[in-house]
Amino acid sequence: MTKELSFNVTRWIIFTLIALAIIIPVIISDRIPLPDTSSKVVKNIYDKIESLAEGSPILISVDFDPSSDEELRPMIKGLLRHAFRKNLRVIGMTIWDAAAGGTLIDIFNEMAKENNKQDKIDYAIMPFKPGGSSILMLISQDFYQGYPNDYKNNNCKDLTVFKGIKSLKDIKFAICVSAGQAVDTWIIYGKEKGKMPLGAGCTGVMATDYYPFLQSGQLVGLMGGLGAAAQYETLIQHKDTAHKSMKPQTVVHAMIILLIIVGNIIYFLGKKKN
């Protein structure tokens, strides 16, 4: 019983420390400095969008559900702000049913309202279609076979945003922001058939899996986690949620590093004693 109680008490102390490490920086965040740096892999995505001419069509695949919202929503918001500022035509889609209807529509409409962009002219949202890889293969040959209508049932061929687009090959840049395996699906089925430049955004958990694709050139750039989202906000000079969240992130990281070091010291001292 005593051992169980001590286990629980240690657990609760750690949880309280983590909660305080998050709450205190949130309250006093202005006093925590943060360097304005960006990594090469994030800058590649920024540079690619920056290099596109006005009116170029880009595609953003929103493939995450609310469980990864905190990390990935700032990425989409940053990308949309950048794309709308450059007056690019943005097509939003998803190959993940959990994102359908909720996350995708919500983010696009919020950013469009903020940037005074109009549905059907400056951007369009595609409805969810099941199949993942099969829908990508379909739209890489004929976009309208996969998406004949947008999510409000307007005929895609009639929309200004689709002018000059027949398939994925006509998309100047595609970015998949995903919390699962959607980036792999895009690399294998979207990029191989569509041959368009592809960027990726993912959670920190998945980020290390995509570095081989960066080196091979299959991915133009990669935004891995909240840190990358904060770097992108720095690049587009619009610091928002990600930047604010990096401040408590800094403190929590330091706390966890301290816990690991203390844990190892206790372990080695115990080992020495025995």
Per CB under 8 A, which region of 47-55, 78-86, 165-173, 188-196 contacts other proteins?
Answer: 188-196
In the three-class reduction of DSSP (H, G, I as helix; E, B as strand; rest coil), residue 175 is classed as strand
Q: Which is nearer to other proteins, 60 or 187 (CB)?
A: 187
Per CB under 8 A, which region of 23-31, 43-51, 112-120, 232-240 contacts other proteins?
Answer: 23-31
Site string for other proteins, 41-60 (x = CB under 8 A): --------------------
Q: Which is nearer to other proteins, 50 or 102 (CB)?
A: 102
Q: Which is nearer to other proteins, 88 or 246 (CB)?
A: 246
Q: Which of residues 197-256 bind other proteins (CB under 8 A)?
A: 203-205, 207-209, 211-212, 215-218, 224-227, 241, 244-245, 248-250, 252-256
Instruction: Locate 5 and state its tokens.
Output: 């109680």
If binding is defined by CB under 8 A, does position 166 make contact with other proteins? no
In the three-class reduction of DSSP (H, G, I as helix; E, B as strand; rest coil), residue 76 is classed as helix
Number of shown-chain residues binding other proteins (CB under 8 A): 85
CB of 58 to other proteins, least distance (A): 21
Q: Which is nearer to other proteins, 47 or 142 (CB)?
A: 142
Length of the chain: 274
If binding is defined by CB under 8 A, does position 110 make contact with other proteins? no
CA dist list (Å): 160 to 19, 112, 155: 49, 16, 11
Core vs surface per residue 5-41: b (16+ CB within 10 A) or e: eeeeeeeeeeeeeeeebbeebeeebeeeeeeeebeeb
- If we measure between CA atoms, which residue out of 155, 103, 254 comes closest to residue 111? 103
If binding is defined by CB under 8 A, does position 133 make contact with other proteins? yes
CB of 33 to other proteins, least distance (A): 7
CA dist list (Å): 268 to 66, 181, 256, 265: 41, 40, 18, 5
Determine which residue in the list 100, 104, 161, 177 makes contact with other proteins, applying CB under 8 A: 100
Site string for other proteins, 58-87 (x = CB under 8 A): -------xxxxxxx----------------
Longest dimension (CA), the chain: 78
| Whole-angstrom distance, CA of residue 255 vs CA of residue 272 | 26
- Find where tokens 């919390």 sit: 179
Determine which residue in the list 6, 9, 26, 114 makes contact with other proteins, applying CB under 8 A: 26
